[in-house]
A = this chain, B = another copy of it.
């Protein structure tokens, strides 16, 4: 992970975390605050899907790769490493040939997945309203989505 810049400020200097002004103010602004980091993690392209799959059962690398389908092994590796680093995923290497590596969710990982479900539920409950809103907005602002011969 040469691009990743893993050698960032670590160890949490025990003072840079956000206080109570977190709640309504800049709790989202920078990487100062933990909320942003978790948000970035669950919102990146593959993390949540990995978590969802592992919440069902322990899986091997290639299993995950097969099931996720669009993912490159690079991104799957990166994603799993981040989740492991954050303590959401446990990685177990069996010293056999060919190598076998199991991934499973930690209790914290399961807890995160459960929490995120509320958002999924919310989205499912509101997706129609959102779709309507978008259609109305796009019509009112005159976005061309269909070639004009369909209306002419």
Which residues of chain B are near A48, meaning CB under 8 Å?
28, 39
Are the C-beta atoms of A29 and B70 separated by less than 8 Å?
A: yes
Interface string of A46-89 (1 = CB under 8 A from B): 10110011001000000000001110000000000000111100
Complexed CA–CA distance, A56 and B52 (Å) = 34
Verify A134–B86 contact, CB threshold 8 A. Answer: yes
User: What residues of chain B lie closer than 8 Å to A151, measured between beta carbons?
Assistant: none
A: number of interface residues (CB 8 Å): 61
Q: How far is the CB of A83 from chain B (nearest CB, A)?
A: 10
- In the bound complex, do residue A27 and residue B138 qualify as a contact, i.e. CB atoms below 8 Å apart? no
1/0 per residue, CB under 8 A from B, across A2-32: the answer is 0000111111100001000011101111100
A residues within 8 Å of B by Cβ? 6-12, 17, 22-24, 26-30, 34-35, 38-40, 42-43, 46, 48-49, 52-53, 56, 68-70, 84-87, 108, 111-112, 115-116, 118-120, 122-124, 126-127, 129-135, 137-138, 143-145
